[in-house]
């Protein structure tokens, strides 16, 4: 566990991996519920870190967290969300080449497994789906696109994401879906929330 200062009032906790993040994030949630660190504004988990924004005394908070005995987070049984996907993305050829398979086989590899929403970020409803083995990790594009259309199914590192709405983005686009990923008029507004299990259905 490593603590890095972020600006004047935030603290980044760096952990060994996703399991440790889920465990510490759950612990922070339990303690906040009973009044711990009332100045905190945002707590943002990610693949390897938790960002605490709004920390009055960073040294004290870091020392406290170091002293916690954090139980491993229990596994959750989320519902399965099916996302129809046309594997016709602009970057599919490049991704398939990096996997040393045909585009058709790349689609089969991607659609042939179950994913889990690890955390949300980047934009409302943008879920980071884990499930691809490490050998299929791909880099982000060297320069982000200024516009990625809503419904773009894209890869970065080991994660799959579905752009909830048109936005700038640097992930490699492998396909497109017509599923509505984000609807502020609905409760919850996000189709993919942490804990959900997800399958992509090839409708190319």
Partner 1 sequence: MASICVERPGALTTVQDAGRPGLAHLGVPRSGALDPDAHRRANRLVGNPETAPVLETTLTGVGLRFFGQAVIAVTGAVAPVRLDGREVGWGVPVPVGSGQLLDVGRARPGVRSYLAVSGGIAVPPALGSSSTDLLSGLGPGPLVPDQILAVGEPSGRPTAAHPPPPPPASGRVELPIRLGPRDGWLTPAGRATLTGAAFTVAIASNRIGVRLQGSRVEQSSRGELPSEGLVWGAVQLLPDGNLVVFLADHPTTGGYPVIAVVDPAGFSACAQAAPGAIVRFRLAAAENI
DSSP secondary structure, 70-103, as one string: PPPPPP--PPEEEEEEB---TTHHHHHHHHTS-H
CA distance 177 to 64: 45
Q: How far is the CB of 47 from partner 1 (least distance, A)?
A: 4
Instruction: Give the pairing type, strands 114-120 and 127-130.
Output: antiparallel
Provide, rounded to whole angstroms, the least separation between the CB of residue 35 and partner 1.
16
Residue 121 or 203 with smaller CB distance to partner 1: 121
Whose Cβ is closer to partner 1: residue 164's or residue 175's?
A: 164
Pick 111 or 117: Cβ nearer partner 1: 117
Tokens describing residue 180: 């509505």
Give the binding site for partner 1 (CB under 8 A): 3-8, 10-12, 41-51, 53, 58-59, 62, 119-126, 128, 139-140, 142-144, 146, 156-157, 159, 165, 167-168, 170, 182, 184, 190
Handedness of CA 4, 195, 81, 112 (dihedral sign): positive
**In the complex, minimum distance from the CB of residue 173 to partner 1, in angstroms, rounded to a whole number:** 15
The CB-of-46 to partner 1 minimum distance in angstroms stands at 4
168 or 195: CB nearest partner 1: 168
Of 131, 11, 116, 99, nearest to 61 (Cα)?
11
């Amino acid at each position: 566990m490593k603590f890095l200062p972020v600006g004047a009032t935030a603290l980044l906790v760096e952990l060994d991996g996703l399991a440790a993040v889920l465990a510490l994030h759950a612990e922070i949630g339990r303690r906040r519920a009973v009044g711990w660190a009332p100045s905190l504004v945002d707590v943002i988990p990610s693949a390897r870190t938790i960002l605490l924004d709004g920390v009055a005394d960073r040294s004290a908070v870091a020392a406290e967290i170091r002293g916690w005995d954090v139980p491993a987070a229990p596994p959750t049984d989320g519902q399965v969300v099916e996302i129809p996907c046309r594997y016709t993305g602009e970057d599919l050829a490049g991704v398939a080449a990096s996997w040393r398979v045909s585009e058709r086989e790349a689609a089969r590899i991607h659609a042939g497994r179950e994913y889990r929403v690890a955390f949300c970020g980047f934009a409302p409803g943008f879920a980071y789906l884990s499930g691809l083995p490490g050998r299929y990790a791909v880099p982000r594009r060297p320069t982000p696109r200024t516009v990625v259309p809503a419904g773009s199914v894209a890869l970065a590192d080991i994660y799959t994401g579905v752009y909830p709405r048109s936005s700038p983005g640097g992930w490699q686009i492998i396909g497109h879906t017509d599923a509505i990923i984000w609807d502020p008029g609905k409760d919850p507004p996000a189709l993919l929330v942490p804990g959900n299990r997800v399958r992509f259905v090839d409708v190319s």
